[in-house]
Protein backbone atom coordinates (compact mmCIF):
# COMPACT_ATOMS: atom_id res chain seq x y z
CA UNK A 1 0.00 0.00 0.00
CA UNK A 2 1.37 3.42 -0.99
CA UNK A 3 2.48 5.85 1.72
CA UNK A 4 -0.22 8.54 1.81
CA UNK A 5 1.08 12.10 2.06
CA UNK A 6 -2.26 13.89 1.71
CA UNK A 7 -3.29 13.39 5.34
CA UNK A 8 0.03 14.59 6.79
CA UNK A 9 1.76 17.92 7.24
CA UNK A 10 4.43 17.73 4.54
CA UNK A 11 7.35 20.15 4.53
CA UNK A 12 9.51 20.39 1.42
CA UNK A 13 12.95 21.50 2.42
CA UNK A 14 15.96 22.67 0.46
CA UNK A 15 19.31 21.82 2.02
CA UNK A 16 20.00 25.57 2.15
CA UNK A 17 17.15 26.02 4.63
CA UNK A 18 18.10 23.08 6.86
CA UNK A 19 21.89 23.51 6.98
CA UNK A 20 24.48 26.27 6.79
CA UNK A 21 25.77 25.96 3.23
CA UNK A 22 27.52 29.34 3.16
CA UNK A 23 31.00 27.85 2.77
CA UNK A 24 30.15 25.46 -0.07
CA UNK A 25 27.98 28.10 -1.76
CA UNK A 26 30.93 30.50 -1.75
CA UNK A 27 33.07 27.80 -3.39
CA UNK A 28 30.40 27.40 -6.09
CA UNK A 29 30.19 31.17 -6.69
CA UNK A 30 33.95 31.74 -6.73
CA UNK A 31 35.23 28.59 -8.40
CA UNK A 32 32.34 26.99 -10.26
CA UNK A 33 30.48 23.69 -10.25
CA UNK A 34 33.47 21.35 -10.59
CA UNK A 35 35.19 22.85 -7.54
CA UNK A 36 31.90 22.70 -5.64
CA UNK A 37 31.57 18.99 -6.39
CA UNK A 38 35.12 18.35 -5.22
CA UNK A 39 34.50 20.39 -2.08
CA UNK A 40 31.38 18.40 -1.15
CA UNK A 41 32.82 14.99 -1.99
CA UNK A 42 35.98 15.67 0.02
CA UNK A 43 33.81 16.59 3.03
CA UNK A 44 31.21 13.86 2.60
CA UNK A 45 31.64 12.63 6.18
CA UNK A 46 31.92 16.13 7.68
CA UNK A 47 28.52 17.13 9.08
CA UNK A 48 27.04 20.45 8.05
CA UNK A 49 26.15 22.97 10.74
CA UNK A 50 22.45 23.64 11.46
CA UNK A 51 20.84 26.29 9.30
CA UNK A 52 17.97 28.73 9.81
CA UNK A 53 15.08 26.24 9.69
CA UNK A 54 16.89 23.44 11.55
CA UNK A 55 15.40 24.19 14.97
CA UNK A 56 11.87 24.51 13.59
CA UNK A 57 12.16 21.22 11.68
CA UNK A 58 13.68 19.30 14.58
CA UNK A 59 10.97 20.45 16.97
CA UNK A 60 8.19 19.83 14.43
CA UNK A 61 9.36 16.27 13.78
CA UNK A 62 9.33 15.62 17.53
CA UNK A 63 5.53 15.94 17.42
CA UNK A 64 5.40 12.63 15.58
CA UNK A 65 5.51 10.90 18.96
CA UNK A 66 1.79 11.74 19.15
CA UNK A 67 1.23 9.07 16.49
CA UNK A 68 4.38 6.94 16.08
CA UNK A 69 2.76 4.35 13.82
CA UNK A 70 1.17 6.94 11.54
CA UNK A 71 3.41 10.07 11.59
CA UNK A 72 1.69 13.44 11.48
CA UNK A 73 4.68 15.29 9.98
CA UNK A 74 6.72 14.32 6.94
CA UNK A 75 9.78 16.24 5.73
CA UNK A 76 11.03 15.70 2.20
CA UNK A 77 14.40 17.03 1.12
CA UNK A 78 14.13 18.83 -2.24
CA UNK A 79 17.71 19.43 -3.29
CA UNK A 80 19.36 21.05 -6.30
CA UNK A 81 22.34 18.75 -5.67
CA UNK A 82 22.86 15.59 -7.65
CA UNK A 83 22.82 12.32 -5.65
CA UNK A 84 26.64 12.30 -5.33
CA UNK A 85 27.05 15.78 -3.87
CA UNK A 86 23.79 15.37 -1.96
CA UNK A 87 25.17 12.49 0.05
CA UNK A 88 26.84 14.96 2.44
CA UNK A 89 23.41 16.42 3.19
CA UNK A 90 21.93 12.99 3.92
CA UNK A 91 24.91 12.10 6.10
CA UNK A 92 24.39 15.36 8.00
CA UNK A 93 20.70 14.54 8.51
CA UNK A 94 21.74 11.21 10.02
CA UNK A 95 24.43 12.86 12.17
CA UNK A 96 21.91 15.28 13.65
CA UNK A 97 19.39 12.45 14.23
CA UNK A 98 16.65 14.05 12.14
CA UNK A 99 13.85 11.72 11.11
CA UNK A 100 14.08 12.59 7.41
CA UNK A 101 14.32 9.63 5.06
CA UNK A 102 12.78 10.89 1.81
CA UNK A 103 14.80 12.99 -0.61
CA UNK A 104 14.69 14.27 -4.19
CA UNK A 105 17.98 15.25 -5.89
CA UNK A 106 17.48 17.34 -9.01
CA UNK A 107 20.97 18.23 -10.30
CA UNK A 108 20.09 21.89 -10.62
CA UNK A 109 16.46 21.25 -11.59
CA UNK A 110 13.42 23.23 -10.48
CA UNK A 111 12.06 21.92 -7.14
CA UNK A 112 8.70 23.70 -7.52
CA UNK A 113 7.54 21.02 -9.99
CA UNK A 114 7.35 18.52 -7.14
CA UNK A 115 5.47 20.62 -4.58
CA UNK A 116 2.01 19.51 -5.73
CA UNK A 117 2.82 15.82 -6.44
CA UNK A 118 4.32 15.48 -2.96
CA UNK A 119 1.37 17.23 -1.23
CA UNK A 120 3.74 19.83 0.24
CA UNK A 121 2.09 22.39 2.53
CA UNK A 122 5.25 24.49 2.86
CA UNK A 123 8.45 24.67 0.81
CA UNK A 124 11.43 26.39 2.45
CA UNK A 125 14.63 27.41 0.71
CA UNK A 126 17.32 30.06 0.86
CA UNK A 127 17.24 30.23 -2.94
CA UNK A 128 15.27 33.37 -3.82
CA UNK A 129 14.64 32.34 -7.43
CA UNK A 130 13.26 28.93 -6.45
CA UNK A 131 10.90 30.49 -3.92
CA UNK A 132 9.67 33.17 -6.33
CA UNK A 133 9.07 30.57 -9.01
CA UNK A 134 7.00 28.48 -6.63
CA UNK A 135 4.95 31.43 -5.38
CA UNK A 136 4.24 32.60 -8.93
CA UNK A 137 2.62 29.21 -9.51
CA UNK A 138 0.50 29.59 -6.39
CA UNK A 139 2.50 27.19 -4.22
CA UNK A 140 3.19 27.77 -0.50
CA UNK A 141 6.85 28.72 -0.38
CA UNK A 142 9.10 30.93 1.71
CA UNK A 143 12.70 32.13 1.62
CA UNK A 144 14.67 31.76 4.84
CA UNK A 145 16.76 34.80 5.67
CA UNK A 146 20.25 34.56 7.10
CA UNK A 147 20.19 34.56 10.88
CA UNK A 148 22.60 34.16 13.77
CA UNK A 149 19.89 32.44 15.84
CA UNK A 150 20.92 29.37 17.83
CA UNK A 151 18.41 27.20 19.68
CA UNK A 152 19.12 25.88 23.16
CA UNK A 153 16.79 22.93 22.41
CA UNK A 154 15.08 23.13 25.77
CA UNK A 155 11.70 21.56 26.50
CA UNK A 156 9.70 24.69 25.73
CA UNK A 157 6.87 24.49 23.14
CA UNK A 158 7.53 24.94 19.45
CA UNK A 159 6.39 28.46 18.65
CA UNK A 160 5.23 29.37 15.13
CA UNK A 161 4.35 33.00 14.35
CA UNK A 162 2.54 34.36 11.28
CA UNK A 163 1.78 37.73 9.84
CA UNK A 164 -1.82 37.75 8.60
CA UNK A 165 -2.35 39.64 5.31
CA UNK A 166 -0.46 38.17 2.38
CA UNK A 167 0.61 35.13 4.42
CA UNK A 168 -2.29 33.11 5.83
CA UNK A 169 -4.90 35.34 4.18
CA UNK A 170 -4.78 36.77 0.67
CA UNK A 171 -3.74 40.36 -0.03
CA UNK A 172 -7.22 41.77 -0.74
CA UNK A 173 -7.14 44.16 2.22
CA UNK A 174 -3.49 45.06 1.69
CA UNK A 175 -4.39 46.13 -1.85
CA UNK A 176 -7.06 48.44 -0.48
CA UNK A 177 -4.49 49.99 1.84
CA UNK A 178 -1.77 50.29 -0.82
CA UNK A 179 -3.88 51.31 -3.81
CA UNK A 180 -7.21 52.78 -2.66
CA UNK A 181 -6.59 55.34 0.06
CA UNK A 182 -4.40 54.19 2.91
CA UNK A 183 -5.64 53.54 6.45
CA UNK A 184 -9.06 55.27 6.18
CA UNK A 185 -10.01 53.14 3.17
CA UNK A 186 -8.55 50.03 4.82
CA UNK A 187 -10.52 50.50 8.06
CA UNK A 188 -13.74 51.23 6.16
CA UNK A 189 -13.24 48.11 4.04
CA UNK A 190 -12.55 45.85 7.04
CA UNK A 191 -15.45 47.25 9.07
CA UNK A 192 -17.89 46.79 6.18
CA UNK A 193 -16.73 43.18 5.61
CA UNK A 194 -16.07 42.37 9.26
CA UNK A 195 -17.93 39.03 9.24
CA UNK A 196 -16.86 38.05 5.72
CA UNK A 197 -13.98 35.58 5.99
CA UNK A 198 -10.83 36.38 4.07
CA UNK A 199 -9.87 34.22 1.14
CA UNK A 200 -7.01 31.85 1.94
CA UNK A 201 -3.42 32.95 1.50
CA UNK A 202 -0.51 30.74 0.49
CA UNK A 203 0.08 29.41 4.01
CA UNK A 204 -3.51 28.76 5.03
CA UNK A 205 -3.29 25.02 4.31
CA UNK A 206 -0.06 24.83 6.34
CA UNK A 207 -1.77 26.61 9.25
CA UNK A 208 -4.75 24.22 9.04
CA UNK A 209 -2.41 21.22 9.29
CA UNK A 210 -0.73 22.79 12.34
CA UNK A 211 -4.16 23.43 13.88
CA UNK A 212 -5.03 19.75 13.37
CA UNK A 213 -1.92 18.74 15.32
CA UNK A 214 -2.94 21.19 18.04
CA UNK A 215 -6.37 19.55 18.27
CA UNK A 216 -4.71 16.17 18.76
CA UNK A 217 -2.56 17.64 21.52
CA UNK A 218 -5.62 19.09 23.22
CA UNK A 219 -7.36 15.70 23.06
CA UNK A 220 -4.27 14.07 24.55
CA UNK A 221 -4.26 16.64 27.37
CA UNK A 222 -7.93 15.95 28.12
CA UNK A 223 -7.14 12.25 28.43
CA UNK A 224 -3.89 12.80 30.33
CA UNK A 225 -3.62 15.97 32.40
CA UNK A 226 0.12 15.48 32.78
CA UNK A 227 0.63 15.96 29.02
CA UNK A 228 1.65 19.54 28.20
CA UNK A 229 0.88 20.66 24.61
CA UNK A 230 4.05 21.59 22.72
CA UNK A 231 2.80 23.57 19.71
CA UNK A 232 1.90 27.25 20.04
CA UNK A 233 0.64 29.39 17.15
CA UNK A 234 0.68 33.19 17.15
CA UNK A 235 -0.45 35.91 14.79
CA UNK A 236 1.67 39.05 14.78
CA UNK A 237 0.10 41.69 12.55
CA UNK A 238 0.32 45.43 11.93
CA UNK A 239 -3.48 45.57 12.10
CA UNK A 240 -5.21 47.15 15.08
CA UNK A 241 -8.80 47.96 16.08
CA UNK A 242 -11.21 48.06 14.34
CA UNK A 243 -9.49 45.83 11.77
CA UNK A 244 -8.78 43.11 14.36
CA UNK A 245 -12.33 41.73 14.29
CA UNK A 246 -12.21 40.39 10.75
CA UNK A 247 -9.06 38.43 11.59
CA UNK A 248 -10.84 36.79 14.53
CA UNK A 249 -13.96 36.01 12.51
CA UNK A 250 -11.82 34.55 9.72
CA UNK A 251 -9.96 32.26 12.12
CA UNK A 252 -13.29 31.21 13.63
CA UNK A 253 -14.71 30.45 10.17
CA UNK A 254 -11.67 28.33 9.33
CA UNK A 255 -11.97 26.42 12.60
CA UNK A 256 -8.62 27.65 13.91
CA UNK A 257 -7.88 28.82 17.45
CA UNK A 258 -4.50 30.51 17.69
CA UNK A 259 -2.83 30.75 21.08
CA UNK A 260 -1.86 34.41 20.84
CA UNK A 261 -2.63 37.39 18.64
CA UNK A 262 -0.76 40.70 18.57
CA UNK A 263 -2.56 43.59 16.85
CA UNK A 264 0.28 46.09 16.85
CA UNK A 265 -1.02 48.98 14.76
CA UNK A 266 2.35 49.93 13.34
CA UNK A 267 4.51 49.15 16.40
CA UNK A 268 7.72 47.51 15.23
CA UNK A 269 7.13 43.75 15.22
CA UNK A 270 10.67 43.02 16.33
CA UNK A 271 9.89 44.40 19.81
CA UNK A 272 7.25 41.73 20.41
CA UNK A 273 8.94 38.92 18.52
CA UNK A 274 12.16 39.18 20.50
CA UNK A 275 10.10 38.45 23.62
CA UNK A 276 7.91 35.82 21.98
CA UNK A 277 10.98 34.12 20.42
CA UNK A 278 9.21 32.00 17.80
CA UNK A 279 11.16 29.16 16.26
CA UNK A 280 10.00 30.50 12.90
CA UNK A 281 8.23 33.68 11.78
CA UNK A 282 6.51 34.22 8.42
CA UNK A 283 5.88 37.66 6.90
CA UNK A 284 5.35 39.02 3.39
CA UNK A 285 7.33 42.22 3.96
CA UNK A 286 11.10 42.31 4.18
CA UNK A 287 10.89 45.62 6.05
CA UNK A 288 9.60 43.60 9.03
CA UNK A 289 11.90 40.63 8.47
CA UNK A 290 15.30 42.27 8.11
CA UNK A 291 15.22 43.45 11.77
CA UNK A 292 13.76 40.16 13.10
CA UNK A 293 16.23 37.97 11.19
CA UNK A 294 19.04 39.23 13.40
CA UNK A 295 17.66 37.33 16.39
CA UNK A 296 15.17 34.70 15.22
CA UNK A 297 14.45 32.46 12.20
CA UNK A 298 12.55 34.59 9.70
CA UNK A 299 10.92 33.60 6.41
CA UNK A 300 9.86 35.88 3.57
CA UNK A 301 6.66 34.97 1.71
CA UNK A 302 7.07 36.95 -1.55
CA UNK A 303 3.36 37.17 -2.30
CA UNK A 304 0.89 39.90 -3.10
CA UNK A 305 0.85 43.59 -3.83
CA UNK A 306 3.76 44.50 -1.53
CA UNK A 307 6.00 42.14 -3.50
CA UNK A 308 4.75 43.09 -6.97
CA UNK A 309 7.71 44.43 -8.93
CA UNK A 310 5.99 44.36 -12.32
CA UNK A 311 5.09 48.03 -12.23
Q: What is the pLDDT of residues 186-197, one digit of tens each?
A: 999 999 999 999
Confidence tier at 311 by pLDDT (50, 70, 90): low
Say which DSSP state 50 is in.
B
Centroid of chain to Cα 274: 18
Please classify residue 129 by burial: count the beta carbons closer than 10 Å to its beta carbon, then call 0-12 exposed, 13-18 middle and 19+ buried.
exposed
Report all structural domains of the chain as residue ranges with CATH numbers, in order of start.
9-144 (3.40.50.1000), 158-307 (3.40.50.1000)
Backbone angle region of 78, left / alpha / beta, with phi > 0 → left and psi within -120 to 50 → alpha: beta
Can you tell me the mean pLDDT for 31-48? 86
- Least Cα distance to 161 among 16, 39, 15, 276 occurs for 276
Can you tell me the mean pLDDT for 263-280? 94
String of b and e for 94-121 (b: at least 16 CB within 10 Å)? eebebebeebbbbeeeebbbbbeebbbb
Q: What is the mean pLDDT of the chain?
A: 93
pLDDT at 174 over 70: yes
Listed in sequence order, the residues at least 6 apart from 56 whose beta carbon sits closer than 8 Å to its beta carbon are 158, 160, 279, 280, 297
Can you tell me the mean pLDDT for 245-263? 96
**CB–CB of 297/53 below 8 Å?**
yes
Q: Pairing mode, if any, of strands 73-79 and 158-162?
A: unpaired
Instruction: Provide the pLDDT for residue 30.
Output: 82
Residue 299's DSSP bridge partners are 144, 282
* Residue 92, SS3 per DSSP: helix
**CB–CB of 47/92 below 8 Å?**
yes
Residue 163 annotated as catalytic = yes
pLDDT at 8 over 90: yes
Listed in sequence order, the residues at least 6 apart from 163 whose beta carbon sits closer than 8 Å to its beta carbon are 235, 236, 237, 238, 269, 282, 283, 284, 285, 288, 301
pLDDT in tens, 66-93: 999 999 999 999 998 888 888 999 999 9
If one compares 149 and 295, the residue with the highest pLDDT of the two is: 295
Can you tell me the mean pLDDT for 272-300? 95
Can you tell me the mean pLDDT for 240-253? 95
Percent of the chain at pLDDT above 70? 99
- The length of the chain, given as a count of residues: 311
Helix (H) or strand (E) holding 300: strand 298-300
Confidence tier at 225 by pLDDT (50, 70, 90): very high
Instruction: Provide the pLDDT for residue 189.
Output: 93
Instruction: Provide the pLDDT for residue 308.
Output: 83
The CA distance from 23 to 36, in Å, is: 10
Please classify residue 73 by burial: count the beta carbons closer than 10 Å to its beta carbon, then call 0-12 exposed, 13-18 middle and 19+ buried.
buried
Show contacts of 184-187: CB within 8 Å, 24+ apart.
Answer: 186/243, 187/242, 187/243
If one compares 133 and 34, the residue with the highest pLDDT of the two is: 133
Can you tell me the mean pLDDT for 237-263? 95
Please classify residue 182 by burial: count the beta carbons closer than 10 Å to its beta carbon, then call 0-12 exposed, 13-18 middle and 19+ buried.
exposed
**How many CB atoms within 10 Å of residue 240?**
15
Catalytic residue among 6, 130, 163, 223: 163
pLDDT at 2 over 90: no
Confidence tier at 154 by pLDDT (50, 70, 90): confident
Can you tell me the mean pLDDT for 116-139? 96
Can you tell me the mean pLDDT for 216-225? 95
Amino acid sequence: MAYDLDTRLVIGLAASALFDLSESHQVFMDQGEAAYREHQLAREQQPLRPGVAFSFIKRLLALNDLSPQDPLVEVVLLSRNDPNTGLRVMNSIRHHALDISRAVFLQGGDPSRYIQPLSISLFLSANEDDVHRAVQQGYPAGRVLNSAYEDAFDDQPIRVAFDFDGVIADDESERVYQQEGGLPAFFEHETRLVQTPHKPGLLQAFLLKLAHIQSLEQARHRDDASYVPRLKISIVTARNAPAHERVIYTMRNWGIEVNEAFFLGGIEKRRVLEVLQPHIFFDDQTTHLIPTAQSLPSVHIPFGVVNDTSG
